[in-house]
Structures are given as structure tokens and as C-alpha cells.
Chains A and B, each alone.
Chain A
Amino acid sequence: MNDYKSIALAESRAYVFKIILRLSGYLAIAILCGVFITLASKAALSLQETGLSFFYTSTWDPVRDSFGAFPFFIGTMVTSVLALTISLPFSFALAIFLGEYLKQGRLSNIVSTTLDLLAGIPSVIYGFWGLFVLVPLIRDFQNMLGIVPHGVGIFSSSIVLALMIVPYSASISREVIALVPQDLKEAAQSLGATQFEVVTRVILPYAKSGIFAGILMSFGRAISETMAVTMLIGNANKIPTSLFSPANTLASVLANEFAEASEALYLSSLISLALMLFFITAIFSFVGRWIIRRWMVNG
């Protein structure tokens, strides 16, 4: 009889456990919805007051209550595109180097471990390094060119950003390249193709959508990067006029101004920027993952 009792107890515990599991799953959904609802509801005031012009006006002047997000949107896009362009050849070369030329061995291990470790260095330290090593170099360069030697600005932050996303995008490209079936490569080799031809005629065509997805995801990474950019971009709330201009990104303006925003409209406008940032990064990572999943299913 005791046996039955203990089994009934075990059953009810198992039932409770299943419910807890399900509730935790729901909680993950609730957290994401909560993030969105919080941002949307706090951004509502600014979008009511400023209307759609919030997205296309280019004056951001909290003192005069004029809030236009356009300079930050441009700042974000320019820095990220530039960073991605700089990093792409490198991360791609690295992925091919590790995936095709240096598959095993100590050097390969050292290189990939170094990459992993570098991906773990906090962003604030990259910013710190940029400020003390890169910015003086850029300033010299600007003096040479005869332009205002800001040092900080879009160019400096893009270079550091490029360094930061390389380990990430290299590891995605590497995973994508690893998914190219070995027998395809071997088939090409057995027909007398050189390694170069295997890469350009077999691997790249096969993996192109995966690589494209990797680029999208790296782009999302670059957009959401905050600290290093905040420290290096020069913090200017206007549309950049050259690659060396100081500017601000969506993330950096939040880092700089959120703590000092005391007025309701100012705060709400900043949260609207956060909402924009949330959407842009969510879309990039969503589309990237979707392409990869489809690519993996269809081959």
C-alpha cells in the first residue's frame, strides 16, 4: 500500500516538473515580449509628439526638444558597413586558411584558439586600446592629409569594430565551409582541380547562401556593438560628412545620453532609438538564421 502512495507522490512530482518546464519555456517568450512591450510603450510618447519625422529629421537637440534619429541611423549604417567591408577579406581568408589549408596540427589549433579567445575580450577593452594606440596613429595620418585631426570618428571606430567582428564572422564562415560535403571537394580534386579551383568553383558556389547569412549576422553584431564605438566615434549628433568625421550610432548615443536624460520626452526619444536598434538587429539575425536553416535543409 505504501508503494502505491509513493508512486502517486512520484507521479504528481513528475507532473509538477513538466509544468515547471513548460512555464520556463513560456517565460522565455514572456521575457522577449516584455522587452518589446516595454520599449514600445516607453517609446510611444516620443513617436506621438514627433511623429514619423522622428525617423527622417536630422536635428537632435534635446535642449530645444527636437529629436531626429536620422544622423544615428546613418552613423550606425556607415560604421557597420565600413567595418564589415574591412573585415570581410580577412575573416574570409582566415576561414579558408583554417578550413582548407591548415585543417589539423598545432598551428591550426593555436590560431583557432587565439581567435576564440580574442572573441572573448570585452568590448570596452578594445575601445580602450583603440583610444590609446589607434587614435594617435589616425591623428598623425590626418595631419599628413591636412584635415582636422580629430583622431576619433567613424574611421577609427570602424577599424576597431572590424577587428572585433573578425573572430565571429570567421567562425561562422568556417562552420559554413565545413558543411560543404567532403566528397564534392574530393571529386573536384580527383579531376585534377587545384586547391584554388576547389575553393572558387566548388566551395564558394555551394556555400554562398550560408556565407551571405554569416555576413548578415556579422552585420547585426556590428550594429549592436556599443562600448568600443562609444569610446571611439567622437560623439557628434550630426550626419557625418566624411569617413573621418565624428558621429554617433544608435547604440553610442544611448550609452552617452541615457543616464542624463531627465525629461520625459527626451527619455522616450532615446527609448525610440533603442526600439529601432532592437528591430534592426532582430531582423538581421532572424533573416540570417532563416537563410542558414533553409540552406541546410535544401543543401
Chain B
Amino acid sequence: MNDKKSILELKNFNLYIQDKQILKEINLPFYKNKVTAIMGPSGCGKTTLIRSINRLNEGIPDIKMTGEMRLYNKDLLEMNAILVRRKIGMVFQRPNPFPTMSIADNVLAGFILNGVRLTKQEKEEIVTGSLEKTGLWDEVKDNLHRKGTFLSGGQQQRLCIARALAMKPKILLLDEPTSALDPKATERIEELVNELKSNVTIIMVTHNMGQAERISDYTVFLYLGELVEYEETATIFDSPKHSRTKDYLTRKFG
């Protein structure tokens, strides 16, 4: 595995909230332009982990993090949070387009809210490009100036992905992106993840094993804050090394 280039690497990462250890000694590389799925029963810390990568946990009182998260050999925990978030995009469990903005402005939100001035042409390029990448262009091109809230849940989620992609992130974090969607919309998102990975590294939390098996290249299994197993997806599903992983995959718990 070491021949591949890791873009982000967690080293001895620990996370505590009020003296309770949520994540224990996580060592984990993420490879460039691959999809890594993080799995585990609820409460295992998978969402906490992915949110830490976006530095979104910092608002929590009494939180403590130790260890390193090396992004291009720089510890992102030491970096400026705003800079980290501009390099690492995130999509959440529930679609959350900005209700006060039009569809086009939602795609441009990262620029608008950060006060970046764009020419009309740049705007058009970004809107068209990002919407095309998410397969949303044909569906919304006539309604670009309507509010994004009239879209279906799946379309809203793809709009949120387009919004993250517009910032040209190196890494895209997906936190159970299909848990609020119906099977059809889920399938569309999964296709999208497959298309996107040639350009961006994707880290995705899911509790849907089928989904992990279908679209990820690597799978991480977390249990009670500990990293139990980390392998190529095909390997982990065929022959898990640890009994815990095997039990989880055969639905003995979780």
C-alpha cells in the first residue's frame, strides 16, 4: 500500500470531550483520488472523525485533540481552520442548501460568503462546471435563479456537492450523504462519487455496507473509537482479519 501517494495522514490522533475519549490512537492514511469509506456501528466516532478533518469540532466546549493530521506533510490541526476548510470540502447528512440564496448563488456560496469578487464569466463557468459535474445542470439550468429549496432531497444534496466542488477542494468529506435520501437518489449520488474520484480524494462516512462495498476503494472499520481494520475494500469484505469486523459485516451487531 505504501507505493500510493497519501494526501492526508492521521498520526496517533486522539480526541477527548470532557475527559471522555472519543477517538483512540488513530493512524490512518488517505490516498489521493481514492474513495475511502469509514464504517462502524453508531457511536463509534466516525462522524466525529470526519468532522475533525474539517475542523468543525472546535466549537464544542472542553474538546481536546492530540496527535497529527498531516495534509501534504503539514499538520492541519496547526493550520488556520479557514484555510483547511477551503482545501477540504464537506457535505452533510441532511442536504443544507442556503434557503435565502438562488441555485446559482448556492453554487457560488463559497465565493460570495468569503467576499471573493468574480466576473460574470467566471461565475458562469463555475456554476455551469460544478452543476455539470454533479449531473444537475440539465435538471436546473432553466431555474438557476430560483431558490434551491424547491428541489427534491437528492437534487438538494447534489447541489450541496456542487457547492463544495466549486471551491476546488483537494479532499471531499461526505458524512452519510445518502442517509436522508430515497434509493433512487442514493444511486445517483453513488454514481456521482464514482465519477468524481478522478479529480478529488473522497472520504465518506456510511453505515450502509452495500454502499461502502459498491463505491469505495478502501474501507476503515471503527469500533468504540478504535480503528479495528483498514484495508482495500475488496479485501475487507472478502476476508476480514478481525472477528469484530466479521461480526459487523455479518450483521451480528451495529
Contacts and interface: CB of A to CB of B under 8 A. Distances in A.
A12 to B, nearest CB: 11
A18 to B, nearest CB: 11
Nearest to B80: A7
A4 B114 CA distance: 13
A3 B82 CA distance: 11
Contacts of A107: none
A286 to B, nearest CB: 28
B85 to A, nearest CB: 10
A208 B80 CA distance: 54
Interface string B91-120: 000000000000000000000001000000
Interface residues of A, number: 6
Interface string A183-227: 000000000000000000000000000000000000000000000
A282 interface: no
Contacts of B82: 7, 10-11
Contacts of B80: 4, 7-8, 11
B83 interface: yes
Contacts of B114: 10
Interface string A1-35: 00110011011000000000000000000000000
A71 to B, nearest CB: 53
Among A3, A7, A8, residue most surrounded by chain B Cβ atoms (within 10 Å):
A7
Interface residues of B, number: 4
Contacts, number: 11
A207 to B, nearest CB: 35
Nearest to B114: A10
Contacts of A3: 83
A7 B82 CA distance: 7
Interface string B109-137: 00000100000000000000000000000
A8 B83 CA distance: 10
A2 B80 CA distance: 14
A112 B217 CA distance: 61
Contacts of A7: 80, 82-83
Interface in B57-96: 80, 82-83
Nearest to A3: B83
Contacts of A4: 80, 83
A275 B45 CA distance: 55
A3 B116 CA distance: 11
A7 B81 CA distance: 10
B124 to A, nearest CB: 23
A12 B168 CA distance: 25
A141 B68 CA distance: 86
Contacts of B83: 3-4, 7
A10 to B, nearest CB: 6
A202 to B, nearest CB: 37
A11 B85 CA distance: 13
A91 to B, nearest CB: 38
Interface string B174-212: 000000000000000000000000000000000000000
Nearest to A14: B82
Nearest to B83: A7
Contacts of A11: 80, 82
Interface in A28-82: none
A2 to B, nearest CB: 12
A8 B82 CA distance: 9
A3 B115 CA distance: 12
A21 to B, nearest CB: 14
A7 B79 CA distance: 11
A7 B115 CA distance: 11
B116 to A, nearest CB: 9
Contacts of A10: 82, 114
A10 B82 CA distance: 9
Interface in A137-153: none
B113 to A, nearest CB: 11
Interface string A157-188: 00000000000000000000000000000000
A11 B84 CA distance: 13
Nearest to B81: A11
A4 B80 CA distance: 9
| 5 tightest A-B CB contacts, nearest first | A7-B82, A7-B83, A7-B80, A10-B82, A11-B80
Given A7-B80, A8-B80, 9 more contacts: A3-B83, A4-B80, A4-B83, A7-B82, A7-B83, A10-B82, A10-B114, A11-B80, A11-B82
11 contacts: A3-B83, A4-B80, A4-B83, A7-B80, A7-B82, A7-B83, A8-B80, A10-B82, A10-B114, A11-B80, A11-B82
